[in-house]
Amino acid sequence: MICWNNLDTLKSYQALSAKNEKPDLTKVMAGEEGAQRARTYTVPMAAGLSYNYAAKQVNEDILSGLAALAEEAQLVEKYEALLSGEVINTGEKRLVLHQLTRGQLKGTVTADGVDKRAFYVAQQEKIAEFAAKVHAGEITNAKGEKFTTVVQIGIGGSDLGPRAMFLALENWAKKNGCFKMEARFISNVDPDDAAAVLNGIDVSRTIFVLVSKSGTTLETLTNESFVKDALAKAGLDAAHHMIAVTSETSPLAKSSDYLAAFFMDDYIGGRYSSTSAVGGAVLSLAFGADVFARFLTGAAEEDALSLEKDIRKNPAMLDALIGVYERNVLGYDATAVLPYSQALSRFPAHLQQLDMESNGKSVNRDGEPVSYPTGPVIFGEPGTNGQHSFYQLLHQGTDIIPLQFVGFRASQIGTDVVIQGSTSQQKLCANVAAQIMAFACGKQDDNRNKHFEGGRPSSIIIGDMLTPEALGALLAHFENKVMFQGFVWNLNSFDQEGVQLGKVLAKRVLAHETDGALKVFSDLLGI
- The set of catalytic residues is 357, 388, 503
Instruction: Name 263's bridge partners.
Output: 246
Q: Give kind and range of the element (H or E) at residue 70.
A: helix 60-72
Pairing of strands 182-186, 149-153: parallel
- Give the separation between CA 503 and CA 194, rounded to whole angstroms: 20
Relative to beta strand 110-111, strand 50-52 is unpaired
| Residue 69: half-sphere exposure toward Cβ, Cα within 13 Å | 31
The answer to whether 151 touches 186, Cβ cutoff 8 Å, is yes
Q: What's at 179, amino acid-wise?
A: F
**Between 468-489 and 289-305, two packed helices, what is the crossing angle to 10 degrees?**
40
Residue 234's contacts (CB-CB under 8 Å, 6 or more residues apart) are: 203, 204
Do 288 and 281 meet the contact criterion of CB atoms below 8 Å apart?
Answer: no
In whole angstroms, what is the distance from residue 19 CA to residue 329 CA? 9
Computed from CA positions of residues 48, 431, 378, 451, in that sequence, does the dihedral angle turn out positive or negative? positive
- The candidate with the shortest Cα–Cα distance to 277, out of 472, 402, 102, 39, is 102
Among 472, 467, 245, 494, residue whose Cα is nearest residue 357: 494
Contact 412, 424 (CB under 8 A): no
* Alpha-carbon dihedral angle through residues 40, 60, 64, 22, given to the nearest 10 degrees: -120
Can you spell out the DSSP letters for 356-375?
Answer: HHHH--SB-TTSPBPSS--S
- Find residue 50's DSSP bridge partners: 44, 462
Q: Under DSSP, is residue 149 helix (H, G, I), strand (E, B) or coil?
A: strand
Tally the C-alpha atoms within 13 A of residue 6's C-alpha that lie toward its C-beta. Answer: 15
Angle, helices 160-175 vs 347-359, to 10°: value is: 150
Three-state DSSP class for 218? helix
The CA–CA distances, whole Å, from 322 to 49, 52, 375, 459 equal: 19, 12, 13, 10
H/E run at residue 284: helix 277-287
Q: How far apart are CA 302 and CA 472, in angstroms?
A: 8
